[in-house]
Chains A and B, each alone.
Chain A
Amino acid sequence: MLLHIALQEGFHHDEVRVSVDAREVWGSADLTTRRQTGYAAAVEVDVAHTPVVVEVVLSKRGVAQTKSVSVDRPTYLGVSLTTEGNLAWKTSYEPFGYL
């Protein structure tokens, strides 16, 4: 089943690693949000069971948070970094759009 993980607002030259059930599925040493669109990067993962645990680590900021996500249908998970330095998670069953 499709799990689309989109890294969205708030990233600025961040070192980011994304893991699903402890398996690293995406990483970047220098991730920055494009402010025109609020989009930074995305990864699509085919998951075999539900729920899964998604972990996002921002090593330079010392931020590491996890979220359990049900993936019983194509699922879109948006992850943003708030001004307070926390991760904000948004789950949708429709693809994200950027403008």
Chain B
Amino acid sequence: MKEQDQIDQEYRVEAAEIARPGIEPLIPILPWPPRVRVSGLYAASRIVTPPIPAPGPLPIQPVPLAQPMPGIAPTAAGPWQIEELLPWGFLREELRLDVDGRYPQMMASGTLYGVLAKRVHWIARLTASGPNAWTGSIWFKDGDVASFPYTMVEITTTATFLSSQRKAVVRFSGGGTSVRTRTLAFKSPYFRQVEFEFDCATGVTATTHIGTHDHPNRPATLPGETLTIEEVYRRVGFDVRKSGSDSIVPIGDAGTNARWSDNEMHDAMQVYWSRFAGKAQWSLWVFFARLHEQGTSLGGIMFDDIGPNHRQGTAIFNESFISTAPTGDANPVAWAKRMRFWTACHEMGHAFNLAHSWQKQHPPDWGTPWIPLANEPEARSFMNYPYNVSGGQTAFFSDFAYRFSDNELVFMRHAPERFVQMGNADWFDHHGFEQASASPEPALKLNLRVDRAQATYQFLEPVVLELKLTNIGSRPLVLEKELLSMTDHMTVIVKKRDKPARQYLPFARYCHDMQAQVVMPGEFVTDSLFISVGRNGWDIAEPGYYTIQIALHMETEDVVSEALTIRVAPPRGYDEEFIAQDFFSDDVGRILNFDGSAILRRGNDTLREVSDRFGDRAVAYHARVALASPLAKDYKVLDMGDRMGEMASAKEAGGRLRRAAPRIEEARQLYTSALLEKKDQAIATLGRTDYEYYLGRFRESLMEHGAVLKKEPRDVKRDAKREKNGDIEHTMRVIKETLSSLKDQEPVSR
């Protein structure tokens, strides 16, 4: 940790810096009075008071005392001053405030560290609410989110040149719980620490700095300076150190062909990197060599997707195409040096889990995006290929300010540590997180909810989410009426803990007549999403924790929901485990998704077994609704006779549409059992939106098949209005009255 005087000195320098993204002015404009930069890391920790042991036979283990965070300056009140205790179970808390200095992203993020690896991470988008105050909504949570219900944060800083007296007061609110206020001490102007080690193969020179004015093709406003790799990453927000002493790696380690394979480099990393360890750590090995075995076409590579700890090593190949300037270039030597420097920063970016600028959107079989959104093919970022932008590398470097894009900065500064830290999440796992092109001042907020107090699901129970899109702006908004049911506007990610994320792909996309609706400030629209199974198969099936997050793609921005974590309980016993082999099938998935089928017989048999044998379990409600729906009405089936499976058109094969008669009484029994007998349990598992929908279908089927209720016209009108307004009790009463009246009538069809 730096000496206090040095940190204070940095702050005085930073105070004279105009914080603006992009290119810095040639002549610095000095603000007056000098501003104190407040961005950086704040922290608090506490002495843990062991809980009072309850009487019992088990010995209570003492809880270890937390140690003060290194770098938190002692104060007169004690080694660390805490105004309020952290919630029980949390020992340490960090805040990363990102509102000024280099490329401010107007974000804050925080991490609460607890015992037994308990941890919560949150990120909020901020707007200034005063001279040293910011407020914003929390748009991302990760970890033990149940213990952190807050949705809003207000941050006030004490701006002083004495960093030892600098602090941030953080006030959390929302989420239906009491306000929580915390005071955190300033720790560092950087958000995180990282170590780099630069090693070279024999006879190769590392390019770790350049003169930004050495090549004439550059932005006119680019400040002239000697820029180091360390400084590039300091501007990202890392407190960069060098580890070890730079080593020479004998060329013999590359084998007889003197070219490096990924495995040879991985071996060299283990031998020559002073920090090598089989664990996640904020430390990176950067290797400069002549050539990769792929030849001159490979300029560099983050080679380390080998073994359990990825992204610890990266390499740059000095004799590849990156050292060959274009024909006629004004300064070929400077061009090549700049390209080697650029490549080093680029490959190191991969080690921080950044993807290429054009890889933000990709199909799910590539792996594990977190929130994949728009590509940035024209970005002037270290993560883009200079020669792939419009106008080629000349256009790129004429407008390149030696920086990462805003989304990439948000990722490296604020994403959960495990997404970014070397050796932690696998390469490309979670990388998409940075791609959300969410507005800094969003007008809409998307909430994911479940109709239950705790987001725990029984084994086999399908998961139905309630989506709520609220106008949180100050102006009316015009939205498409079916926006939330049009899944082609959404990216839905489901991630099981310790498994790669998967993109939920619905079985069908629905094309709706485009109808607009006005949503006033404070108003919202809702819909449901059946998320357990889709074209990918069963995304939610095995017991464990799952995190779900949705990005809703609007015309000009993306609305990203908070992450919702749910838990699937283990099976109740052998019988559930046994039937799971049939239940988690494509047929059953399709039947549940489409609310029934008259032709997927094997799936229907499984659902009937579920309904009969597991009638007290939540899955039975889903099974009964799915079984009832095709029985409640005329059902058209394409009958292909004996030609099923042959390659021919339905017409050529003699196919004809056959009408399957409804089996009303059976449908009534199933609907009654699913919807009327235990209403609260049904709503909890089907979701309120779908429950209302099924109730409506039940009522319609009764009316279609003989139920006649004598009512005055005004009552009919009133009933219609109440049903339209989602009055469940009323619809249930109507259904019960109808069923009662039917007892005296002969069923019209069975």
* Residues in chain A within 8 A of chain B (CB atoms): 9-10, 12-13, 35-39, 83, 95-99
Contact present for A38 and B361 (CB under 8 Å): no
With a CB–CB cut-off of 8 A, which chain B residues contact A99? 298-301, 322, 343, 346-347, 385
With a CB–CB cut-off of 8 A, which chain B residues contact A97? 297-299, 320-322, 385, 387
A39 to B362, CA, bound (A): 15
Helix, strand, loop or mixed for chain B's interface? loop
Contact present for B299 and A36 (CB under 8 Å): no
A12-B298 contact, Cβ under 8 Å, with A36-B350, A95-B321, A99-B385: no
Contact present for A98 and B362 (CB under 8 Å): no
Contact present for B297 and A35 (CB under 8 Å): no
With a CB–CB cut-off of 8 A, which chain A residues contact B361? 83
Contact-residue bracket for chain B: 20 to 34
A35-B321 contact, Cβ under 8 Å, with A98-B297, A99-B347: no
- How close is B509's CB to chain A, nearest CB, in angstroms? 14
With a CB–CB cut-off of 8 A, which chain A residues contact B355? 35
19 pairs, A vs B, C-beta closer than 8 Å: A9-B358, A10-B363, A12-B363, A12-B366, A35-B355, A35-B356, A36-B303, A37-B298, A39-B297, A39-B298, A83-B363, A96-B297, A97-B297, A97-B321, A98-B298, A98-B299, A99-B301, A99-B346, A99-B385
B296 — nearest CB in chain A belongs to which residue?
A: A95
With a CB–CB cut-off of 8 A, which chain A residues contact B363? 10, 12, 83
With a CB–CB cut-off of 8 A, which chain B residues contact A98? 294, 297-299, 301
A98 to B315, CA, bound (A): 13
From A9, A13, A95, A98, name the one whose CB has the most chain B CB atoms within 10 angstroms: A98
Candidates B296, B320, B366; contact of A35 at CB < 8 Å? B366
With a CB–CB cut-off of 8 A, which chain A residues contact B385? 97, 99
With a CB–CB cut-off of 8 A, which chain A residues contact B350? 36
A35-B428 contact, Cβ under 8 Å, with A12-B363, A83-B363: yes
Contact present for A38 and B356 (CB under 8 Å): yes
Contact present for A83 and B362 (CB under 8 Å): yes
With a CB–CB cut-off of 8 A, which chain A residues contact B365? 12-13
B311 — nearest CB in chain A belongs to which residue?
A: A36
Q: Does B359 contact A (CB under 8 A)?
A: yes
A70 to B296, CA, bound (A): 25
A9 to B359, CA, bound (A): 9
With a CB–CB cut-off of 8 A, which chain A residues contact B346? 99
Q: Does B482 contact A (CB under 8 A)?
A: no
- How close is B166's CB to chain A, nearest CB, in angstroms? 40
A13 to B387, CA, bound (A): 28
- How close is B397's CB to chain A, nearest CB, in angstroms? 15
B386 — nearest CB in chain A belongs to which residue?
A: A99
With a CB–CB cut-off of 8 A, which chain B residues contact A38? 356, 359
With a CB–CB cut-off of 8 A, which chain A residues contact B322? 97, 99
Contact present for B427 and A36 (CB under 8 Å): yes
Residues of chain B in range 284-342 having any CB-CB distance to chain A below 8 Å: 294, 296-303, 305, 320-322
From A37, A39, A97, name the one whose CB has the most chain B CB atoms within 10 angstroms: A97
Convert B342-380 into 0s and 1s, putting 1 for each residue whose CB lies closer than 8 angstroms to a CB of A.
Answer: 010011001000011011011101100000000000000
A33 to B365, CA, bound (A): 12
With a CB–CB cut-off of 8 A, which chain B residues contact A37? 298, 301
Contact present for B301 and A36 (CB under 8 Å): yes
With a CB–CB cut-off of 8 A, which chain B residues contact A35? 355-356, 359, 366, 427-428
- How close is A87's CB to chain B, nearest CB, in angstroms? 14
The 4 A-B residue pairs with the shortest CB-CB distance, nearest first, are: A97-B321, A99-B299, A12-B365, A36-B302
- How close is A12's CB to chain B, nearest CB, in angstroms? 5
A10 to B365, CA, bound (A): 10
With a CB–CB cut-off of 8 A, which chain A residues contact B343? 99
A95 to B298, CA, bound (A): 11
- How close is A1's CB to chain B, nearest CB, in angstroms? 19
A38 to B361, CA, bound (A): 14
A10 to B359, CA, bound (A): 9
With a CB–CB cut-off of 8 A, which chain B residues contact A36? 301-303, 305, 350, 427
With a CB–CB cut-off of 8 A, which chain B residues contact A10? 362-363
A10 to B363, CA, bound (A): 8
A37 to B262, CA, bound (A): 13
